[in-house]
């Protein structure tokens, strides 16, 4: 099980003066996700060693191969998707997306809702920008420069295959440019995450994605 690999959390002991530990930051915050990403990377090395994973993938770096690889290495589907990117021999990006607003937008919505309750008919609650699928985690292959990183909170356009994957069964794919600074077109695969976090949107589930550059597929 991938959870066995989470012993890497013990590498980051709790600290009252720290800035990224679970007991002093929200589970969905940027800091918490950075810590989780470090632990996932460590767990991947324990369960899915780089060379062994590449040999097992046999060149098939696709979400369609994730379930088979997960069964072979005893890892979670989600962790295997991330490993498909980090072990990819060329340009690849993977991650988890969650349907939500930015934190400041959520706080503003809550503030307006409280105000409208106190002053009904005077203040109208509402948010101008609707929720979108936003980056929760991001994993890059060794060949990727920092420009390929999908920044924290960055959203995917509603026309993206990501939204179709949220409401459809199986892997969905299209040719797209990621919302990053690379500006490079590639094959974007997406699938509804088998494991849904407690704070996942009830109607728009978390989505996993894997992107590879056009000339690498």
Q: Residue 91: which of 177, 164, 207 has the closest Cα?
A: 177
Q: Are 73 and 53 in contact (CB under 8 A)?
A: yes
Dump pLDDT digits (tens) for 184-211: 999 999 999 999 999 899 999 999 999 9
SS3 53: helix
Q: What is the pTM of this model?
A: 0.75
The average pLDDT across 81-92 equals 96
What residue ranges do the domains of the chain occupy?
2-216
What is the three-class DSSP state of 164? helix
Q: What is the pLDDT of residues 137-176, one digit of tens each?
A: 999 999 999 999 999 999 999 999 999 999 999 999 999 9
Q: Note whether 180 and 147 are within 8 A (CB).
A: yes
């Amino acid at each position: 099980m991938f959870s066995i690999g989470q012993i890497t959390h013990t590498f980051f002991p709790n600290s009252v003066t720290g800035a990224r530990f679970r007991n002093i930051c929200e589970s969905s915050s940027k800091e918490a996700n950075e810590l989780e990403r470090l632990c996932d990377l460590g767990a991947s090395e324990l369960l899915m060693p780089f060379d062994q994973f590449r040999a097992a993938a046999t060149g098939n770096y696709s979400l369609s191969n994730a379930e088979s690889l997960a069964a072979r290495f005893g890892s979670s589907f989600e962790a295997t998707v991330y490993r498909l990117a980090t072990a990819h021999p060329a340009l690849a990006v993977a991650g988890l997306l969650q349907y939500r607003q930015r934190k400041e937008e959520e706080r503003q919505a809550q503030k307006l809702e409280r105000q409208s309750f106190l002053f009904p008919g005077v203040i109208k609650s509402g948010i101008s920008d609707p929720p979108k699928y936003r980056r929760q985690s991001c994993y890059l292959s060794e060949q990727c420069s920092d420009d390929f990183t999908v920044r924290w909170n960055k959203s995917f356009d509603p026309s993206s295959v990501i939204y179709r994957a949220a409401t459809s069964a199986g892997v969905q794919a299209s040719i797209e440019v990621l919302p990053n600074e690379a500006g490079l077109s590639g094959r974007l695969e997406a699938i509804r995450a088998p494991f849904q976090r407690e704070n996942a949107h009830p109607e728009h589930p978390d989505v996993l994605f894997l992107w590879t550059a056009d000339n690498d597929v």
